[in-house]
Structures are given as C-alpha cells and as structure tokens.
Structure 1
Amino acid sequence: MATAPPTRTRLRTLVTGATVVTSLAAAVGVGYALGNDPGPGDGGRPPASPIALANADLTVAAGCEELLDSYVDRALEAVGPYGWGGPVVYDVMSGAGAAASEATSSDAARSTASTSRSTSNESGTNVQEVGVDEADVVKVAGSLLLRLRDGELLAYDVAGEEPRLLSSTPLDDARGSDGWVGDPGGEMVLVGGRAVVLGTSPDGRTTTITTVDLADPNSPAVVDATTVAGRASAVRLHGDVVRVVLQNGLPELDFSVPDGALGQLRARLRNRALVRATTLADWLPTVDGTPLVDCEDVAIPEDDVALGTTTLLAFDPADPTARTTTAVATDSALSYFSTDRFYLAASAPQWGWVDCLGCRPTGFTDVDGTTPLFAFALDGTDATYVASGEVEGTIADRWSMDAVGGSLRVAVGPSSETGAFNSVLTLREDGSELVEEGRVDQLGVGEEIKSVRWFDDLAIVVTFRQTDPLYAIDLTDPAAPRLLGDLKIPGFSEYLHPLGEQRLLGMGQDASLEGVTRGAQAALFDVTDLTDPRRLDVVRYAEGTQAAAATDPRQLTWLPERRTVLTVVSQGWTGTTGWVSVLSLADGSMSNRMVEVEHGTDVADVRLVPLASGKVALVTGEDVSFFDL
C-alpha cells in the first residue's frame, strides 16, 4: 500500500549526523551549482534554486515536490485498469542481412594489440576490471578465508595442513515488505579487516547491509546492520570505498481490477488515484521509511526510460553509517564500473530480477531503438555526474562495456534503429556529452552477441546463430577501430578469459552445424596473429552439461604459474551434479580431469580460491578443503 499523501515541502534527509551530499550538477568543466544549504561564506542567503544540468539529458527538480510530481506524472502514463503496464511485447529481430565483410591478412596489417590485461584479484574473486573488486560468497586475505553459509559468516584459518574453522557469526535476517525472511548473507566484500555483507529479501525489494569487524577473526563483531528498501544489483570495491547499486522499481500498490459494466473505467480511475497518493518514500530507497537520498541528488532523465530509481550508495566500512548517495530516476540493473567511472545504461522495464550480484542478467531491451548512457566520475565516496549520451542498439550486460584512457567502448546488438548486425562503438567525453568517436559494424549479421572481452587496445566479440564467429577488433586508435580478423567454428563461447598475451579460453556450448546445442565446451584460442585467430584445441563435455562461467565467471579460476584452469561444469536442473574441470595447458593443447565436488543447488556456490601459500581452497556447500591439483 502507498503511504499517506505527501506534505509538499522540501525534504532534507539525514543519513548520518553529518550527511555528505554528492552534487549531481558539479560536472567537470560545467561550473553550475545546486541549491544546497548556504555555508559560512554565503552570508546567510537562502539556497540558490536548483537548475537543470548543462546536459539536458539529466535535470534536477527544484525541490522535493517537483521531484515527486515527475515520478507521478510518468507513472500515470503507465497505470491502467489492471495496474502497472500491460502485456509484454517481445521484439524478435530478423536474422536477414548480408554477410559481414571479412578482413584478410592481405589488407589488414598485423596489429600491436594484445590480450595482456589480467583479471586476477587478491581477494580470490575472478573480476571484470583490474583494481575493482566484486562481491562474492567467498573472500580471502592472507591466511584468512571467509565464506557465507545459511545466514552465517564463517572464518577459516587456511595457513595449516587443513582449513580450520575459527568462528561463526550469525547475521540478521533480510526481511521483505511481506514479512518473509530472506538470505541475510548473500555476498560480501572484504576491506581493511572488515567484511561488508549484502543480503536480499525473498521479494527482492529490500537489502540488508551488514558490516562485520574481523580484527579478531576468532571473535568477529557486527558493527552495523542497515536494511534498505531497495534491491542491490551490483557491489564494487574501489580501494577502501564500498559502492552499492540499489534499484527501486514501481511501487507495490493495492490496485483494483475491472468488475462490472463500467469496471475498466472505475478500476483505471481508482488506480490512478493510488498513484497520485504515492510519496517519495514509495519511489526512493529508504531506511525505516525515510528516503536515503536527498531530493537534489536525484537526476531526472529526459528520455522515456524505465520508471523507478537507481541509486549509487557509497561508504567506507571504517565508518559504515556515513554514506553518500547519488540517484537517477530510472530503474536499471545494467551498470559498469571502471577504476574511476560509473556508467549507467537505461533500459525498458525488465520483468523479474537476477538474485546473483556477479551473474550476467539477460533480456534487456532498448527503449526506442537507442540506449541512454550516464557517466559519473568517482572520487573517494563521491560520484559526480560528468556526461551522458546514447547509442543506437541494445547492450546485453555489463561485460559489453569497458573504459580505458578516457574512452568508453560498448558492444551493441541490433534494435529498431540499426541493421540486423552487431557493432563495437567508442565514445569520449566532450564537455558534458558522450560523443561517438569510432565504430565497427556488420559483426555477426543476423546473430546474437554471446560474449565480449576487452583489453587495453583490443576487443574480442563472439556472436552465434549456427556457428561461432569470433571477431578481433583493434582499438589502438579509438577514433578508427577496425576489424582485424575472425574465426568461424561450431558452437559458441559465453565467457572469455585471457591466458597471457597469446592465448584465450572460451567457455560455452558445443553445437551442431545447424545451431543445436549439445553440451558444454572449453575452447583454446591462439590470438598471436589477430588477423588470423585460430582455435588450437577444444574439450567437449557430456551432453546436457553447462559451463558455470557462462553465467557466473566467478566459478572460473586461472592459475598462470601452473598453466591450469579450474572451472565448474554442471549437469541437470533437478538432481544437479557439479564437477571441477581441471584444464591443463601445454604446447597449444588442453588435457582435462573431472572431479565431482557437489550436488543440488549448492553447485552454484562452488568456488576455487587461490591462496598465498600456493594452495587452492575448494569451497562447497558444507565444506572448505584444499583442492588436489
């Protein structure tokens, strides 16, 4: 149910005793200021009126009343006699189109681009971006290993002959708005001797953020537990700063349904009245019913995008109650973090959610053939809006975005504004605009992007319909990206992992020449000559198997000193069996050894964590042990 009608006054939300306000309008080189409270140097003058950002793609409301009006006005267009929205319409893109032009070694010079960019992380998690840690169910720091299991944070000493349990810390339940108890400890990050644990309610609408002090791992102490009305869709760690992306979708209202001759008209009118009665607490993330973000820190998109709120919350675990927040008035789970930027891609409404913070959500659709992008600069706990723009086409997931040296690179699929092909685009910040700088089109005509891997000056893109075209795109000059070469083979790679400068591993599915999938496969690629990439070897698993890294790359571990890949392979949706596939590389080939390790739903939580001692910890549903290499 909606809360009482709002008092139309300007709210100032105290997140802590000394709230830190992150100004959305303090864009680099713009020089505008929002109407914050006057400081000592303002002579006691009233705050300046909030103004539109220099880039009209995002504006800031003049106050809380205007912000609420913006939500209500957009919501009234989306509500009908049955509540929110109507039937979901799926747009099936045509597979017609001419074949992409192929680069040949005769007209494409050998590139200096390489796959040297690594993705290993000292916390034990396989991450997308070097220097940006991600939440996981297991973390390691030296001889201390932490794992989450059944609402408890378990600490192990992994310095001895066998892992030794040090402590077990119960975590508060994550409760939904309906009272149901969820997972209090879904995933975590570890920094400065403190673990920050994120738990989600069963309805996906609330998140419990728990900070645990591990100064004495034999006796951990919970120092803060805050439940936020909002669903965490991403958690990242930049140095000592934890950043959480929170989503708030359409409010749950007690909508009517048609009944009788004039039922649709009555229901529509009553449902519209419920929307008009909503307050900001229905649209923004809240703590104990109080909005977590100030009105002047919520940017309103000009584009017609999914209705809701996406909030970037940041804090240092050393002081977990001192939080900063920045929000955009759209509901999107599609975000990407570089080391110094946060990019949010707006989308059409997504039905349902993904309850795994490191998994790869699928099914995003474009708004009107284009995808709006918003860029924020990261500095300490602050996030400052700097630029926005849009790309024609659809962005599948966070792995389709990357930023290096001030250049944003995006792999896009077809939409109503493109041809039936995929593209790689480069964009740069020009003032407060994200401006297209270069592009390569005609990738995988009539096919779907299955995986993308970015390096400093290279992109590898895999598409699929019947065969697996692997494209190598030179990004040395962002203004003139070029297709160097491609490789077409049966099956497809859903996740790509670099194995040094000349090798690439693809985990995905084997398929017939007709495009019918048969089972998981691991493919070893030679990218020494990017104008002529080659598949050196392939390991095909049993029929009906799945490569876990395809949906959760954290279930793959690369041990470069041993030239060994450890990755999870599963079979069955009910009665599931999980194996660790031990892939040993030598002389351009792979040997495989399968080790059965888990069954049932616990297969999803299997992790293989490299330790400082050179050992590898195997974390399964009930146990932590050392994996026999």
Structure 2
Amino acid sequence: TYLMSCDLKSDGQPSVWGATGIVPGYTKDSYSMSERNNHLRIATTSRERLACRADPNPEDNSTDGDWCRFWCCHGWETVANSTSQVMILSLSGANGTMEVVSAATGLGETEEIKSVRYFDDFVVLVTFLRTDPLYTVDLTNNTATVLGYLKIDGYSSYMQEYPTDGGSRMLLALGQNADPETGFDIGLQISLFNITDMLNPTLTIRYNVEQGDQESQWSSSEAQFEPKALRFLPQSKLLIIPAYVGSGDTSFDGFLVVYVTPELIEERYAVSMVDGNTIRGKGICWGCAYVQSRSLVISGDATLIKGHTMKNIALTDGSSRWNASLDRPITRKDDCCGYFWVFRPT
C-alpha cells in the first residue's frame, strides 16, 4: 500500500506536501488507518503467495518435451500464507519518507482482516477464515504490542464502542455467524464484547437475527459495509439497522430495531420497506436511482429510507406515521434496468 500525507492549512494558505511511505499488504477500509501525535497507525493484510510447482520428474520429457522443463507449470503451491499486521509510521521522517517505528506482525495467519477499530492508545481488529480471532493490540508510546485475543465462530465486519456507565469498556459489533468447518456465512449477528481486560477480551452476549432453521435462511445488512446505515441510540439502547432476511417461504427487506444491553439483545420490531410477496419473484425495475439505507431520529420518531421508500414511525412501538414512495413511472425509453432491481413498496 502506497501512502501519502499532506498538511491541510486552516488559515487559508495552500496545503503543504508531507511525506510518502510504503507498507506491505492492503487495507480493508478507512477504519484501517488512524493518525495520532504525528504518527500513522495502519492495519493491513498481506495476501497469500503462490508459486508454480516444479516438475516432479525433470528428466522425463517423453510427454511434454524438453521445452517444458522451463515453461510448464505442474500445479500451484503456497509459498507464503496470508497474514496481517499493525504498523506505526512516523509522519515526519527524514527526506519526506514515512518511517516504520513499530509493528505487530503475524496476526491471523491464512486469514484476512474483517474489521478494525482504533482508540487513543490501542486498536481492536478481527481476522477471519473459518473462525474469528479478535485481537487487542496496545499502541502506547508508538509501540505496537499484541495483548490478547479471542477465538470464536463467525466474524465482525463493523465495530464501535458501546457506552457504559462504569469503568468497563465494551464493543458493539455487527457481522456474520459462520460455519466453523467451512467458513461459510450463516446469517447476520449482533455481538457485545468486553475489552476492559485487554489481555483477556470476552464475548458478553450475541444475537442471531435468523431464528430457527438457519440452513434454509440467509440474512445480511448494508451496515456491515457502510456504517452510515447503522444508528445506535445510547439512551434507549436501540440499534437501528437495515436488513434483508430471505428463505424459501418468506422474505423481509427493511429495518430492524433491536434492544441491545449486556444482559439482553432482542428484536423490538421490524419495519418492512417492500412487499414480501413482491420479493418472491414479482420485482420490477425502477431504474438506476436507488437511495442508500439511512435512518434519522427526531423527537421520538424515526424516518427510515431504503431503496425507493421513506417511512416515518414511532420509535416506541414502530407504528406508522406516514409513508412516501420515491419511484417514478417506467417508460419504454428506460434502458437502465440491468443489474438494478428493486421492489414495489408496501
């Protein structure tokens, strides 16, 4: 990953070029980086490296011919597993070059980073292949040191701090439950982690959105990849997330309002943004304009936006205040359907 920095002046002066640097691997998203005290903290994953396997019988050229000794590939083999690292770079290195001052390496061998959350002097990151190691890494004095980790099924694709009244420190996480044997996603899950003791992070409570037979269902949320789609209300402890839950019989596409505490996670109600019957095969194309999922809370009411539908509800019980459809009539001149399929609102 190639890095560049610049000083954005606040006094009307032109920006000043800072420094450049290179680190191994790739970042997952903007949450993979953080700046503190003129130092850049960055978490990356280095990909698995493959090489062409050598000819097991180099002297036998009866089949491939002599030229194949040098040009044929006899299969692929792993020469280096994927691995992740957290690095700290000084932004004021000599000759305008970022210098690595510390690094915690070898995290999650054969896995890749799924989520990262920085704090003042430490970082929490999740890697995943079949199970989810959650790592706590101390960054005090610009020195990266792995303190502890927790290995559990599934993974967290987004994390944020959960507010507490006492001295404890907790993380609210959204991600996927996964089969520990195959690593295949099973369904959307909400978790609370206790990271007060960074030497021993623990899972406090977890909630699977899909209830019952998970083999015949699937679920996901835009908030796994776009944090702006998620809203957590600290006073009421309500989490608002867009969600899609599908199965062979019924489907749901809308928002879930979930009560989240260290003692209990439960769904309070669901707000459908489309007709479930339409999802099962009667969808129509409304063109390319598709509003991303967002929620807005004002004076005890929540306005939900998803696709081509807006709904205003009472936050206490989910009762409807008003609905609005944002679609327009389709004409024969519309040629923008393609991959953009959405559904008729309720």
Normalization by structure 1: what TM-score? 0.38
Q: Which amino acid aligns with 2:83?
A: F
Is the contact made by 1:548 and 1:569 (CA closer than 8 Å) also made in structure 2? Answer: yes
Q: Which amino acid aligns with 2:236?
A: R
How many residue pairs match? The answer is 256
Residue 491 of structure 1, aligned match among 141, 149, 154: 154
Residue 400 of structure 1, aligned match among 32, 50, 55: 32
Residue 420 of structure 1, aligned match among 73, 82, 100: 82
Say whether residues 1:452 and 2:122 are aligned partners: no
Q: Which amino acid aligns with 2:178?
A: A
Matching residue of 2:3:
373
Residues 572 and 551 from structure 1, CA distance in 2 versus in 1: closer, same or farther, beyond 3 angstroms? farther
Q: Which amino acid aligns with 2:105?
A: D
Of structures 1 and 2, the one scoring higher in RCO (CA 8 A, sep 6+) is 1
Is the contact made by 1:503 and 1:526 (CA closer than 8 Å) also made in structure 2? Answer: yes
Matching residue of 2:65:
none
Equivalent position SS for 1:456: coil
Residue 440 of structure 1, aligned match among 99, 104, 121: 104
Equivalent position SS for 1:399: helix
Matching residue of 2:198:
530
Matching residue of 1:540:
208
Shift of 1:610: 3.1
Aligned counterparts of 2:24 and 2:259: Cα–Cα separation in 1: 42
Residues 528 and 426 from structure 1, CA distance in 2 versus in 1: closer, same or farther, beyond 3 angstroms? same
Residues 572 and 379 from structure 1, CA distance in 2 versus in 1: closer, same or farther, beyond 3 angstroms? farther
Is the contact made by 2:82 and 2:112 (CA closer than 8 Å) also made in structure 1? Answer: no
Matching residue of 2:42:
410
Structure 2, unmatched stretches of 5+, are 50-78, 211-216, 280-285, 317-346
Structure number with the higher strand fraction is 2
Say whether residues 1:585 and 2:265 are aligned partners: no
Aligned counterparts of 1:456 and 1:609: Cα–Cα separation in 2: 29
Matching residue of 2:18:
386
Is the contact made by 1:507 and 1:523 (CA closer than 8 Å) also made in structure 2? Answer: yes
Q: Which amino acid aligns with 2:244?
A: S
Equivalent position SS for 1:506: strand
Equivalent position SS for 1:446: coil
Matching residue of 1:618:
304
Aligned counterparts of 1:457 and 1:617: Cα–Cα separation in 2: 37
Provide Cα deviations, 1:105-149, integer angstroms capped at 9, x if missing partner.
xxxxxxxxxxxxxxxxxxxxxxxxxxxxxxxxxxxxxxxxxxxxx
Shift of 1:463: 0.7
Residue 173 of structure 2, aligned match among 500, 506, 523: 506
Q: Which amino acid aligns with 2:227?
A: P
Aligned counterparts of 2:291 and 2:123: Cα–Cα separation in 1: 29
Q: Which amino acid aligns with 1:555?
A: A
Is the contact made by 1:524 and 1:589 (CA closer than 8 Å) also made in structure 2? Answer: no
Aligned counterparts of 2:265 and 2:140: Cα–Cα separation in 1: 31
Equivalent position SS for 1:379: coil
Is the contact made by 1:521 and 1:547 (CA closer than 8 Å) also made in structure 2? Answer: no
Matching residue of 1:596:
271
Aligned counterparts of 2:110 and 2:244: Cα–Cα separation in 1: 30
Q: Which amino acid aligns with 1:512?
A: D
Shift of 1:537: 1.2
Is the contact made by 1:577 and 1:603 (CA closer than 8 Å) also made in structure 2? Answer: no
Q: Which amino acid aligns with 1:559?
A: L
Is the contact made by 1:373 and 1:388 (CA closer than 8 Å) also made in structure 2? Answer: yes
Normalization by structure 2: what TM-score? 0.68
Aligned counterparts of 1:604 and 1:466: Cα–Cα separation in 2: 34
Equivalent position SS for 1:549: helix
Is the contact made by 1:563 and 1:585 (CA closer than 8 Å) also made in structure 2? Answer: yes
Shift of 1:587: 4.2
Shift of 1:588: 3.3
Shift of 1:609: 1.5
Matching residue of 2:292:
605
Aligned counterparts of 2:158 and 2:199: Cα–Cα separation in 1: 21
Residue 516 of structure 1, aligned match among 178, 184, 190: 184
Residues 539 and 587 from structure 1, CA distance in 2 versus in 1: closer, same or farther, beyond 3 angstroms? closer
Is the contact made by 1:582 and 1:592 (CA closer than 8 Å) also made in structure 2? Answer: yes
Shift of 1:488: 0.6
Aligned counterparts of 1:512 and 1:451: Cα–Cα separation in 2: 19
Aligned alpha-carbon RMSD (Å): 2.6
Aligned counterparts of 2:310 and 2:81: Cα–Cα separation in 1: 51
Say whether residues 1:558 and 2:232 are aligned partners: yes
Shift of 1:572: 5.1
